[in-house]
Structure 1
Amino acid sequence: MTTLSGTGTLLRLALRRDRVTTPVWIAVNALMVLSMPNTLKTLYGTESERTDLVRQLQTNASFRALIGPLHDTSLGGLTAWRVGVYAGVLAAVTGLLVVVRHTREEEETGRAELLASGAVGRRAALTAALLAAGAANAVLALVVAVGLAPQGGAGALSLGLGLGAVGMVFATTAAVVAQLTESARPARGLTSAVLGAAFVLRAAGDSASRDGSSPLTWLSPLGWLENLRPFGGERWWVLGLFTAAVLVQAGVAYVLAGRRDLGMGFFPARPGPATGALGSAAALAWRLQRGGLLGWSLGFFVSGVVFGGLAQDAADLVGENDNAREIFERMGGHGALTDAFLASMTGMLGLVAALYMVSSVLRLHAEETSGRAEPLLAAPVGRLRWAAGHLTVALGGSALIMLLAGLGFAVGYGKEVGPVLGACLVQLPAVWVIGALALLLYGVAPRLAPTAWGVAVAVLLIGWVGPALNAPRIVLDLSPFGHLPKLPGGGMEWGPVLSLLGAAALPASLGLAALRRRDVTA
């Protein structure tokens, strides 16, 4: 038996287990990219509007840090500029989730040990995970290349390959990190930290240079994606950097995988105290989720500072572009353009906060399926008290990150703290509705609980892409965020807020009642 024996079987198993989640991630990413040409044609349909955009980018370092430099004013070039970095981030997240799930998570749950007792080689699981991530990124690259081909074949191909390459760089990063830790959550957290550092390096480099030539930009794989320059005089040699990074990291992961025991890591977990210090289910939930909440809190505060700084130049960024002004107002604001910009950005952070809410609520599902909930519930801890601990963290955590986002806006904008803080906090009822739906799915049908991610992503797309595509009101109203008062700039309306709170309470109550009556997964 070789170290790769059983790879094909494990690959088929991985693809079967990911047959829903991975296609959803790919579809969301591809839709975000492929919807941009028509949107940008509406926003910047004339040469004068595009020239004005280039002028603003040349003089606004904050805007370059947020999105990146513009290398070409064609629709394809505008698409690569507008969504390239964020599509790369999404591809990276997909890759790291796939690899961690089929390597470290399998070892943590004990399934890998059962498989290893058969004819399965030491490096088969790692190989299968990387092949699964490679398949996902290949499909993304193909869909983007074909979908954007009418804008230019070479540019479409380079953007598709660049997105797939970014995904594989962070997939192999996750493969290395998975050998170092003993748990899936630190593996995902550390890889996400590397991705965050890559984004910060790219942003710092782009703010310092107008064409992406800063050394800081070149230190980031996301900066490589920019400097591949799709639709702007493609630099095909940049793909060599991605290839080298993937090969080096994959090689390191293979070496590490052959030098450790199954289930162990090079950074072993610290032993706990001889006497437990956690006196309640809520304290345990806080201990389990505090690291993730810290990362979300930092990200939201920094995002608030960045968006707040951009708000001061919102009128200059839009200029005389009436279409852009209308889209900002449809996304969440009325009245002055600065208020419309602030309302749209706070609404976007609210949509992202819904993702945190789902991840926090579904920690209940992770604890149950991993087998850690069963011995806890065998002690004098009721199911409702156990669930309430995680729900308290989810509700309080979502409020905390939106509060910090509001404070970040206040720091960046430097004016009128109260209105922008209220605009952030008013997003919470809609965020809690999404969390309540996740709890309902978990309580009634735990096997369907991961589909809560699909609900959150659908709401995100409605809020982000819907206004740009001029979607009808009936579609926008499918999202709970579409019923919130538009602050700042609009008047406060308590009726929709209270209705959303009631809409959140009902599915949450039904989910808890179902959890109390069903069997716990063994």
Structure 2
Amino acid sequence: MSAVTAPEKVGRGQYAGTARLVRLALRRDRIQLPVWLLALAALQAFSASSVLGLYPTEGDLRSFAVATAASPVALATNGLVSGYSVGAVLASQIVMPLSLAAGLMTTLLVVRHTRQNEETGRAELVEAAVVGRRALLTAALVVAVGANLVLGLINVVVLVAEGLPFAGSVALGVAVAGAGIAFAAVAAVTAQVTDSARTANGLAGAALGVAFLLRAVGDMTGTVTENGTRVVSSWPTWLSPVGWAEQVRPYDDNAWWVLALPVLFALTVGSVGFALTERRDIGSGLVPTRPGPARASGLLPTPLGSAWRIQRTILFWWAFGITVLAVVYGAIADQIDDFLGEGEQVADMMEQLGGGTTDMVDAYFAAIFGMMAIAVAGYAVQALLRMRGEESAGRLEPVLATALSRSRWMLAHVGLVVSGIVVLQALTGAATGLAYGLVTDDVPGKVVHLTGAALAFVPAIAVVAAVVVASFGGAPAWSTGISWGVLAACLIFGFLGPLLGLPQAVRDLSPFTHVPAVPAAEVTAAPLVLLATIAVFVIAVGVVLFRRRDITSS
């Protein structure tokens, strides 16, 4: 009989069952992960094709690099400039957004397989079997790391297929994967702090926003060198995992040593996450839930009050992020003419995104509002899928066992989310107008003008929300994949369609294509009324389908 000490038994037992939990997580994510990876791969491919098409000569590439390096607008919204080769220009456009997307994908994944499992009671059932205390978190991190490595590999394949150098492609792919892995560790900690998956995702999202802002400040306050085609970032960039991805400088320095930073960060912060799992009970967070009032408000037992309790955290964090971004975009709008003055191709690109107007400031706002509207549509998708979360967690069936009808329950959630869309769009316009108005000494005029322009996108966002409602009502098991897939299609067909040269018939599949390019174009009522009518009809179909199907739970 071999001698094994007690600590050794504990150490080995803490990870028991990890392999099976990894397989379970992969099975649960068999739709969501491929959708994420394919959408990001498509964005990568389209970005590479657009750069090759917009800047065909070395002179065009150099002009773009110089204009970008000299403008805080580009440095804040695009990324770090590291030369004027095709690969370097492409990296300046996609490393930052891909890193943010990888971070978002990863934080949602980790929280879903840790805190959400505890919140729904699945973790307690799983850990009642031969499963170690650290197995659940380990499995989530293994899947997260694997997903980011696959994303990096896909990036390499796509970029090499576009004819870009192999070494730079590997550097870019690994840099993006490193950013995603760093945020997996952040999510591992936030999942231990709170007993709510929504709050854990909110904290991780806030960390993602801080990383973006640190990177933006560091790049905007950097130094331009080498004939205006290279930016040396200041110290705030080095505090951000997104900044680390940029500092690899693919297709230029290929600074492999920078990749040690996200690895060390992930190991350190991940170790903190594991340590915290030993200091709390299953289902609880390190920060105790504040006791509620002795008596519930009169609104809480109502369908609307219950829906608000479920939806309010999502709306708060989205409102915070939207406001911050809108203020940044509004504050730098007056510099857009300087940015575009030296690059004819960039001006053409902005003109296409702005609906064909030659006024670059209006074109800039039209492009920004189109992008922000798709982001708000992301809020609508996430918030409405909470209905599926309530159903799959088994909380919906007891609620519907009361006198509450399915229609009233569903319409309460839909009504709140539609109201949230209006609020977020109003915040987008008001915050942008406030920042731009402070720069141009016309706060009231800019706030009113830009708020009205932002609200014009509400019917298009409502159509996306209606598709989510219909997919939940008719195909609940597929609703998550369908909903996020439709949003990705709107981004590619509607927003990026003009740059990619897609046929008009394909671009018309996106509801955002039918919204006038406000404020560059005049608002016409007909397309907005039609979009609103379609949204109401599809929502009604979703309600009918929901009333006629069985309630299911995972």
With normalisation by structure 1, the TM-score equals 0.95
Q: Structure 1 residues 381, 207: closer, same or farther in 2, change over 3 A?
A: same
**Are the structure 2 counterparts of residues 264 and 294 from structure 1 closer, same or farther at C-alpha, using a change threshold of 3 Å?**
closer
* Residue 421 of structure 1 pairs with residue 443 of structure 2: no
Matches within 5 A, 1:19-58: 19-58=30-69
What is the aligned partner in structure 1 of residue 293 from structure 2? 273
Report the alpha carbon displacement of residue 93 of structure 1 after superposing the two structures with TM. Answer: 0.9
Match of 1:444 among 448, 466, 474: 474
2:24 alignment partner, one of 13, 22, 43: 13
Which shifted more, 493-502 or 333-342? Answer: 333-342
Give the CA deviation at 1:440: 0.8
User: Is structure 2 residue 241 aligned with structure 1 residue 221?
Assistant: yes
Q: More displaced, 70-79 or 330-339?
A: 330-339
2:91 aligned with 1:80: yes
In the other structure, the counterpart of 1:458 is 489
Secondary structure (helix, strand or coil) at the match of 1:447 reads: helix
Shift of 1:28: 1.6
* 2:269 counterpart residue number: 249
Instruction: Determine whether 1:261 maps to 2:281.
Output: yes
* 1:510 counterpart residue number: 541
Cα distance change, pair 334–34 in 1 and its aligned pair in 2 (3 A):
closer
Q: Which amino acid aligns with 1:433?
A: V
**Which of 329, 338, 361 is equivalent to 1:307?**
329
CA distance in 2, matches of 1:373, 1:266: 28
Deviation at 1:320, TM superposition (A): 5.8
Residues 1:402 and 2:428 are matched in the alignment: no
Give the number of equivalent residue pairs: 522
Equivalent residues in 2 for 1:275-424 (5 A)?
Answer: 275-279=295-299, 280-319=302-341, 321-335=343-357, 336-414=359-437, 416-417=445-446, 418-424=448-454
CA contact (8 A) 2:189 2:272 kept: yes
Give the counterpart letter for 2:39 in structure 1: V
Instruction: From 139, 144, 158, give the equivalent of 1:147.
Output: 158
Counterparts of 1:46 and 1:309, CA distance in 2: 33
Cα distance, 1:252 vs. partner? 1.5
Match in the other structure for 2:169? 156
Superposed displacement of residue 321, structure 1: 4.2
Among 181, 184, 208, the residue aligned to 1:171: 184
The gaps in structure 2 that reach 5 residues or longer are 1-11, 224-230
1:6 CA displacement: 1.3
Q: How does 1:469-480 map to 2 (within 5 A)?
A: 469-480=500-511
Q: Is the 8 A contact 1:95 1:170 kept in 2?
A: yes
Q: Name the CA shift for 1:37/1:4 in 2 (closer, same or farther; >3 Å).
A: same
Task: Look up the match of 1:192.
Answer: 205
1: CA distance between counterparts of 2:351 and 2:535?
27
Alignment partner for residue 98 of structure 1, among 92, 109, 121?
Answer: 109
CA offsets 1:53-72 (integer angstroms, 9 cap, x no match): 33333432233122222012
Q: Separation in 1 of the partners of 2:232 and 2:423?
A: 35
Cα distance in 2 for partners of 1:249, 1:397 equals 34
CA-to-aligned-CA distance 1:466-502 (integer Å, 9 cap, x gap): 2211111011001011111222232322111111111
Q: Distance in 1 between matches of 2:263 and 2:96?
A: 19
Shift of 1:520: 2.6
Read off the aligned partner of 1:313 and give its amino acid letter: Q
Evaluate the alpha carbon distance shift between residue 409 and residue 333 of structure 1 in structure 2; reply closer, same or farther with a 3 A threshold.
farther
1:93 aligned partner, one-letter code: L
Task: Give the conservation status (yes or no) of the 8 Å contact 1:419–1:487.
Answer: no
TM-score by length of 2: 0.90
Taking the aligned partners of 1:241 and 1:307, their CA distance within structure 2 comes to 30
Shift of 1:212: 4.3
Q: In the aligned structure 1, how far is the partner of 2:366 from the partner of 2:189?
A: 41
Decide whether the 8 Å contact of 2:64 with 2:342 is kept in 1: no
Which of 138, 145, 160 is the matching residue for 1:127?
138
Instruction: Give 3-state SS (helix, strand or coil) of 1:237's partner.
Output: helix
Distance 2:286 2:146 in 1: 29
**Once the 2 structures are TM-superposed, how far is the Cα of residue 88 of structure 1 from its aligned partner?**
0.1
Give yes or no for contact 1:399–1:425 (8 Å, CA) kept in 2.
yes
Q: Bigger shift: 321-330 or 291-300?
A: 321-330
Q: Residues 363-388 of structure 1, C-alpha deviation per residue, up to 9 Å, x if partnerless?
A: 21112222222333333333222222
Percent of aligned positions with the same letter in both sequences? 39
Look up the equivalent residue of 1:480 and give its one-letter code: P
- Aligned-pair Cα RMSD in Å: 1.9
- What is the alpha-carbon distance in structure 2 between the residues aligned to residue 97 and residue 136 of structure 1? 12
- What amino acid maps onto 1:245 in structure 2? F
Q: Structure 1 regions of 5+ residues with no counterpart? A: none
- The answer to whether the Cα contact below 8 Å between 1:333 and 1:341 also exists between their aligned partners in 2 is no
Q: Distance in 2 between matches of 1:472 and 1:105?
A: 42
